[in-house]
Chain A
């Protein structure tokens, strides 16, 4: 999560140039599907999305809900350590149980995917909205509008986002944490997208087809939404895909530090946080949510990388 700013900076340097005219639709998509790395990554993401969507059904199949205590699965005389090897994993509890409560780790992973995806995707949506709108405004209108927006962006990007997010989340009373997480993550996330959008809007605004539209009497709104926005499509897709893993990591990290979602809602970051004490006794307790989290972030990163390569052959690769 700490790499979020730097990584996006790198991304920005290699953001695909605004391509006027036809969007690189079907061709890239087919190439993408044929790429084994991208296909694997996409497959894993799909799996997690399905898991999140059908969590209640899956849990019914596996037999244990995410909040159900199973006192039979833990040893009350040994501080509630799961009975049996591998953290109590077996036919009953596929991934074992949580020490102290005997709650099913599989069910909590499945439900935790909901939290991760919901927050990361909401934050991505909000960031994209803010980044695209403000970036285009700054780039298209220039002048004072640009100055104000650019200064705000400089201001927000100048800081260690993690510490600021923690500061805000810990200062505000714990109300609806999920919404607050989305807002806070987006607050510090949008400038990275906006900066690229701004630059590309600026160059697009000088292009002939925009001049032509302007000459034919189209209003600002029409030009921005009809002429410029479609040309930013691939940039936005790539940057958005690459932003998701950062947000997933950030949500998990904030939950890990205790300013994330409120219990008993399961979250992967929170599961890892509570596993810290048990790491040497029940290693599967941190390894399982850790692996799920790692693979999800990895998949989005790989997918973003590949998307960038396909949409912009002249880029980093």
Chain B
């Protein structure tokens, strides 16, 4: 349920707010965009010092039951631990899920309905009290609270719970999770879910001491289980983390936690951040940011600066959803014609050029397990094949084209992408009208089939990168079409596709399943419900004194994995 948009959510009492901003990144740290010089940004950092993170938007929520987006997930990793977690960015397979608080990835029962995890010894909260199975259970049960559980929906969807259960503060303990002893926790699922070991890595599985975290308690105060604890938080302006002395590195194979402190400087303009990183004065030598702006790239021309550039490949697909219920998009040939005609090179340029975006011909991004390379709608240099498209349109009886309303967000990059699409369809007589929708109501509008127009540009990120199961089913399972919050923009409801999804989902061999997801990707594209456009990447310009830069597809939507970052010289700055 994650989009390229970070959920920036906020609470007015019981009210729930959600909005978006873009997040990007990618997993191959060796792929620098500049010439490879002498300095490596993957050197092992020293212990100590303060790492600064310069960013524009504040994190959505400090409460992990509420926050659910690429940006905040990465932050959570510094202060929270879960039963399992995405592997560190320098792992052999950074897309994989590894044990964290638990000793392994969980043991399913014969029927796949019961999963058992065992907690490591020596894991503690920031106050020194041990993290017990009861704390894990309590933390998870918060996900059922109607006001708090607005983040990751997986716990509620997968774990069996009594009818009408509304979290620990209203309905008491969640009896369906068993804690036979302090270190053992047993989950009962609604249906078998072979990837449950990945589900428990979700934010909503963070443990908390029983009875804490009611209402807005965790809005500006948290209880840490990770290597850092909150020192101070000024919403919209700064977050300061200091070492959590109770965290035992012996129990943690994921987090290196080199620096003593983290300081998040929030509310800076993207342009200001870039200027500061380019100049690298004082503390800014110890600073990192999500990505530079495209306009900054041409300014990075000295060899020293070029060396610092690191490209972080994204894990989110930006695509054009075609509403298959609308005339003439209900004709597969018309949809295929659009897929053929769209000038992906122009869209790529609109997204910031080759460095900031990779052209997509498949639904799955390269960085998500299960990806398989193919191109059903090829054209020279991805410029679009007008001839082939025209032939298909003629065959479908639309030789003179038609009118098409394209929903877009009032955001410059998306507008540029939309204008590129508009231009490439114009020669076919397809008259694209751009329907600009406010940022705040965009996803609400396009996710409501009754309000949705012919097409919309949007993005999708997997909830874990180790499989395509959080990518293809939500977007293309026809039985998941809902009246509001509908992710299946194409409203594709194809029996064969639905059956294939069920078949692959039931597979317990995850590698074999991924192979099948890759095949399904192409089967879906034959129906052309969407036009994959680009996988957008970030380019980061870390400060000179920063090292340990690795991307992480799982925890950071492809951005820098915070838990590996540190300083070359902690005395500097």
Residues of A with Cβ closer than 8 Å to B?
67-69, 71, 74-81, 99-102, 173-174, 258, 262-264, 274, 276-278, 280-281
Q: Please, how many angstroms separate the alpha-carbon atoms of A80 and B293 in the complex? A: 12
A71 B299 Cβ-Cβ under 8 A: no
Could you count the A-B residue pairs with CB atoms below 8 Å apart for me: how many are there? 89
Contact sample, A vs B, 12 pairs, CB 8 Å cutoff: A69-B346, A69-B349, A75-B353, A76-B349, A79-B296, A100-B350, A100-B353, A174-B437, A174-B438, A258-B410, A263-B418, A277-B294
A80 B352 Cβ-Cβ under 8 A: yes
Q: Please, how many angstroms separate the alpha-carbon atoms of A313 and B412 in the complex? A: 50
Residues of B with Cβ closer than 8 Å to A?
270-271, 293-299, 343, 345-346, 348-350, 352-356, 383, 410, 412, 415-416, 418-420, 422-423, 426, 434, 436-438
Chain A nearest CB: distance from B88 CB in Å?
A: 30
A101 B297 Cβ-Cβ under 8 A: no
Residues of B within 8 A of A99 (CB): 294-295
Please judge, given known A-B contacts A76-B348, A78-B353, A258-B410, whether A100 and B416 are in contact too, CB under 8 Å.
yes
CB < 8 Å neighbour of A80 from B294, B296, B383: B294
Q: Quick one: which of B298, B343, B350, B355 has the most chain A CB within 10 A?
A: B298
Q: Please, how many angstroms separate the alpha-carbon atoms of A75 and B354 in the complex? A: 9
Please judge, given known A-B contacts A100-B416, A264-B419, whether A79 and B436 are in contact too, CB under 8 Å.
no
Q: Please, how many angstroms separate the alpha-carbon atoms of A102 and B356 in the complex? A: 17
B293 A277 Cβ-Cβ under 8 A: yes
Please judge, given known A-B contacts A67-B422, A67-B423, A264-B419, whether A78 and B436 are in contact too, CB under 8 Å.
no
Q: Quick one: which of A77, A79, A276, A277 has the most chain B CB within 10 A?
A: A79
Give chain A's interface secondary structure class. Answer: loop
Q: Please, how many angstroms separate the alpha-carbon atoms of A76 and B271 in the complex? A: 21
Residues of A within 8 A of B412 (CB): 274
A276 B436 Cβ-Cβ under 8 A: no
Residues of A within 8 A of B383 (CB): 71
CB < 8 Å neighbour of B350 from A77, A81, A101: A101
A262 B436 Cβ-Cβ under 8 A: yes
The residue in chain B whose Cβ has the minimal distance to the Cβ of A98 is: B416
Q: Please, how many angstroms separate the alpha-carbon atoms of A68 and B422 in the complex? A: 10
The residue in chain A whose Cβ has the minimal distance to the Cβ of B293 is: A277
Please judge, given known A-B contacts A262-B436, A263-B419, whether A79 and B346 are in contact too, CB under 8 Å.
no
B422 A174 Cβ-Cβ under 8 A: no
B416 A101 Cβ-Cβ under 8 A: yes
A78 B298 Cβ-Cβ under 8 A: yes
Q: Please, how many angstroms separate the alpha-carbon atoms of A268 and B195 in the complex? A: 53
A102 B349 Cβ-Cβ under 8 A: yes
Please judge, given known A-B contacts A69-B423, A100-B416, whether A79 and B437 are in contact too, CB under 8 Å.
no
The residue in chain A whose Cβ has the minimal distance to the Cβ of B352 is: A79
A76 B345 Cβ-Cβ under 8 A: yes
Please judge, given known A-B contacts A101-B416, A274-B412, A281-B295, whether A80 and B423 are in contact too, CB under 8 Å.
no
Chain A nearest CB: distance from B548 CB in Å?
A: 27
Q: Please, how many angstroms separate the alpha-carbon atoms of A278 and B343 in the complex? A: 24
Q: Please, how many angstroms separate the alpha-carbon atoms of A300 and B255 in the complex? A: 65
Chain A nearest CB: distance from B299 CB in Å?
A: 6
